[in-house]
């Protein structure tokens, strides 16, 4: 290999701590799918930031060898969007659970979709709150028995993909952690999409929602990527497909390649890291700021 030749990025480069998820947890498949997508795209790990929320799924940022930010429950997207705007050279991926993204954090999701900042959002959807031992989540189907609904859930479930499509999202997809090859392809496309991409991944919780796990999903998921007659450029077709399949669909459901990303709508925005735009503070400037906030002499 010559000195100028770049070294090939491999899966080994993306290894980090050993996961503590329960054996068989769907999140293992999501981690591997994400690592594979980044390797396929030959993105170097130091050019990637993974931002996560709180939950079993939120631990993913510690298990992948990129920069990581393990933030607050439901606050993944504000951090991810800010990081992307501050350093547009980073590939920014937000990850979390269905409780994190569709419950406490759903307001941020609505506005992230509206803004279309170039961030990929991967939601590990297991229909329950895993970390807090199996309570109902916003995606728990009506009537399902969980630890917090012993007589069956009485709330109608949220359709994350239907909501995203209705809000005008520019990229909407769904994967399954039991189909890692396909998931890696979907995640690759989501990362390459210029704008906000939502990838909802069925990621079974084998401890608190075992019945609706791998076998259940394998028998039911309809693959739109394998259907040559399906057009992912047609938002209404995506909504129809969701209705037909009761949401049990897999693949890239919708993509709008024409929609411009947020930074292109900001005339004042310079597409370059802030660190290159702003000179470091001089010592007297630093002192003046500390004094202004009364942080000196304490
Ligand atoms: C502000 C706040 N509220 C509640 C909690 C407690 N809490 C931690 S994780 C979690 C839900 C986890 O479920 P989900 O986001 O679906 O992730 P999973 O564990 O299933 O991957 C909750 C309610 C918290 N940490 N912070
Ligand atoms: S409790 Fe469920 S979601 Fe959490 S690690 Fe175990 S299997 Fe995974």
Question: Which DSSP letter does residue 89 get?
Answer: T
25 lines ligand 1 (CB under 6 A): no
Question: Which alpha helices (H) appear in the chain, and where do they start and end?
Answer: 27-40, 76-86, 98-99, 106-115, 160-166, 180-192, 214-220, 235-245, 274-277, 283-292
- State which of 54, 62, 210 you would mutate to test the pocket of ligand 1, scoring each by most atoms of that ligand within 8 A of its C-beta: 54
Which tokens sit at 86? 């501050």
| CA of residue 25 to ligand 2 center, whole Å | 5
Angle made by CA atoms 96, 102, 105, in degrees to the nearest 5: 75
State residue 294's pLDDT score. Answer: 81
Map out the domains of the chain with their CATH numbers: 11-268 (3.40.50.970)
State residue 85's pLDDT score. Answer: 97
Question: Which DSSP letter does residue 178 get?
Answer: T
State residue 296's pLDDT score. Answer: 65
Which tokens sit at 235? 């938002």
Query: CB–CB of 192/11 below 8 Å?
Result: no
Residue with tokens 């979709």: 113
Please identify every stretch of the chain with a pLDDT value under 50, giving residue numbers as ranges.
none
Residue with tokens 């728990």: 140
State residue 13's pLDDT score. Answer: 98
22 lines ligand 2 (CB under 6 A): yes
| CA of residue 174 to ligand 2 center, whole Å | 20
132 lines ligand 1 (CB under 6 A): yes
Query: CB–CB of 227/188 below 8 Å?
Result: no
State residue 3's pLDDT score. Answer: 54
Collapse the DSSP code of 158 into the 3-class scheme (helix H, G, I; strand E, B; otherwise coil) and give the result. coil
Ligand nearest to the CA of 95: 1
Q: What residue owns the CA closest to ligand 1's atom 11?
A: 129
Q: Please, what sign has the CA dihedral across residues 260, 263, 265, 267?
A: negative
Q: What residue owns the CA closest to ligand 2's atom 2?
A: 205
| CA of residue 20 to ligand 2 center, whole Å | 9
Q: Give the H/E segment covering residue 129.
A: strand 128-129
State residue 280's pLDDT score. Answer: 84
Q: What does R_g of the chain's alpha carbons equal in angstroms?
A: 20
| CA of residue 255 to ligand 1 center, whole Å | 30
State the burial class of residue 197 (Cβ atoms within 10 Å of its Cβ: 0-12, 13-18, 19+).
buried
């Amino acid at each position: 290999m010559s000195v100028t030749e770049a070294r090939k990025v491999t899966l080994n480069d993306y290894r980090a701590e050993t996961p503590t998820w329960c054996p068989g947890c769907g999140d293992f498949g999501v981690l591997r799918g994400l690592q594979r997508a980044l390797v396929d795209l030959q993105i170097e790990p130091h050019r990637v930031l993974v931002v996560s929320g709180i939950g079993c799924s939120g631990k993913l940022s510690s298990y992948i060898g990129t920069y990581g930010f393990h933030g607050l429950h439901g606050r993944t997207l504000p951090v991810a969007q800010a990081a992307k705007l501050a350093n547009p050279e980073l590939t920014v991926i937000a990850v979390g659970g269905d409780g994190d993204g569709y419950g406490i954090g759903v307001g941020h999701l609505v506005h992230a979709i509206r803004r279309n900042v170039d961030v990929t959002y991967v939601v590990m959807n297991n229909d329950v709150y895993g970390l807090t031992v199996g309570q109902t989540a916003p995606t728990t189907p009506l009537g399902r028995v969980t630890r917090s609904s012993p007589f069956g859930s009485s709330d109608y479930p949220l359709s994350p993909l239907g909501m995203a499509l209705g809000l005008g999202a520019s990229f909407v997809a769904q994967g399954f952690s039991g189909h890692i090859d396909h998931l890696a392809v979907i995640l690759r496309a989501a990362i390459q999409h210029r704008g906000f991409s939502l990838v909802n991944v069925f990621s079974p919780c084998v401890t608190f929602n075992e019945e609706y796990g791998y076998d259940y999903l394998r028998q039911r998921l309809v693959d739109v990527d394998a259907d040559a007659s399906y057009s992912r450029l047609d938002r209404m077709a995506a909504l129809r497909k969701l209705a037909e399949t009761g949401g049990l669909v897999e693949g890239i459901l919708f993509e709008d390649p024409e929609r411009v990303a947020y930074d292109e709508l900001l005339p004042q925005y310079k597409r370059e890291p802030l660190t290159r735009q702003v000179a470091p503070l001089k010592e007297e400037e630093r002192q003046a700021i500390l004094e202004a906030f009364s942080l000196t002499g304490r």
